[in-house]
Amino acid sequence: MLDESIQELASRCLARIAAAGSPEALEAVRVDAVGRKGALAEISKGMGKLTPEERKRIGQVLNAAKQQLEAALDARKQEFGDAALRARLDAEWVDLTLPAPGPRRGHLHPITRIQRELEDLFVSLGFTVLDGPEVETEYYNFDALNMPPDHPARDMQDTFWLDGGNLLRTHTSPVQVRGMEHLGPPLRMIAPGRVFRNESVDASHEHTFYQLEGMMIDRDVSVAHLLYFMKTLLTAIFQRDVTVRLRPGYFPFVEPGFELDIRCLICGGPGCPVCKHSGWVELLPCGLVNPNVLRISGIDPEKWGGFAFGLGLTRLVMMRYGIDDIRHLQGGDLRFLEQF
């Protein structure tokens, strides 16, 4: 009698195991059937009332039913595990025969692009492109440019000094000196590059920025030549008329010296943080090479003359693209750079 009810219970539980639709439903069947308070456990509690022979026999029937149910539970559990694994593999399936996506293409930084445009322009005008060191000696950065040690002009450019007396160049003008020394006159050279100044950063001032130096040494070079090249440069970059003004400027390495400012293209003139509310942006200081500078580099100023300029390349890029804060250019934010 008890045997039969154990068999029936086992059959019902086997049917529930087969029908369980989820690991949770299967666990519920396990608890009901073979759990500590499950149906088989309840039956074994009543076995104390049986005779020793019956207890032995029913005990065997119970054990057999329990083993049968546990085997069925394990098998079903395994099926759920297999199904989960299959689903994961399906989701992760990759078609290895598909062509690989191409590499993401970058593009030139706007400063590099304008620098290269200017290099092409000046090369077409017979100029050579020179490079110079960013770590400079005091001699090339200052002394050879007619700025003796106690000259107040040195204070115009706040310098990052390095151990051992060298410095991070504060302008590209030392490359003029290296150009004159190595190539001699007649000379047409430009030198684009990075320069460094120990100064406070704002919308139009960086501690690290780019300049493009230019120099022409020949016979009978005049301010007219200088202005011709400056105008050619600005027309090539802006491809339209821009308003400029020329005013006297002081640099110990040129005489006369000029400041060539451009009407601010960010605000159009009324004033903004880029032009410090003046309507004008200092862009292109220039002048005729001071005879002392020629002499220091071994060129006879009686025979040769020249002009030089030091374009603020980073500021030119700001004007060309209408960038209202210099800090965007080297901030490394791809959202900014991807606009170009």
Binding residues for ligand FA5 (CB under 6 A): 157, 171, 173, 197, 199, 205-206, 209, 211, 251, 254, 257, 282-283, 285-287, 308-310, 312, 314-315, 326
- The CB-of-162 to ligand FA5 minimum distance in angstroms stands at 19
Q: CB 172: neighbour CB atoms within 10 A?
A: 25
* For ligand FA5, the closer CB: 9 or 326: 326
Residue nearest to ligand FA5 (CB): 312
* For ligand FA5, the closer CB: 58 or 229: 229
- The CB-of-99 to ligand FA5 minimum distance in angstroms stands at 46
3-class secondary structure for 178-189? HHHHHHCCCEEE
* For ligand FA5, the closer CB: 2 or 221: 221
The dihedral over CA atoms of 235, 240, 242, 246, expressed in degrees to the nearest 10, equals 20
The dihedral over CA atoms of 275, 252, 214, 321, expressed in degrees to the nearest 10, equals -10
* For ligand FA5, the closer CB: 80 or 250: 250
In the chain the first and final C-alpha atoms are separated, in Å, by: 89
Helix pair 223-238, 313-321: axis angle to 10 deg: 40
* For ligand FA5, the closer CB: 35 or 279: 279
- The CB-of-292 to ligand FA5 minimum distance in angstroms stands at 14
Helical H segments across the chain, by residue range: 2-19, 23-34, 39-45, 52-91, 110-124, 138-141, 174-183, 223-238, 291-296, 313-321, 334-337
- The CB-of-157 to ligand FA5 minimum distance in angstroms stands at 6
- The CB-of-91 to ligand FA5 minimum distance in angstroms stands at 53
* For ligand FA5, the closer CB: 286 or 323: 286
* Burial class of residue 133 in the structure, from the number of CB atoms within 10 Å of its CB (0-12 exposed, 13-18 middle, 19+ buried): middle
* For ligand FA5, the closer CB: 193 or 310: 310
- The CB-of-111 to ligand FA5 minimum distance in angstroms stands at 11
* For ligand FA5, the closer CB: 73 or 159: 159
How far apart are the C-alpha atoms of 334 and 141, rounded to whole Å?
Answer: 34
- The CB-of-149 to ligand FA5 minimum distance in angstroms stands at 18
Cα angle at 235 between 129 and 304, to 5 degrees? 50
Report which of 6, 23, 2, 22 is spatially closest to residue 14, judged by C-alpha positions.
Answer: 6
Cis peptide before 256 (omega within 30 of 0): yes
For 69, list phi and psi in degrees, rounded to 5: -65, -40
- The CB-of-281 to ligand FA5 minimum distance in angstroms stands at 7
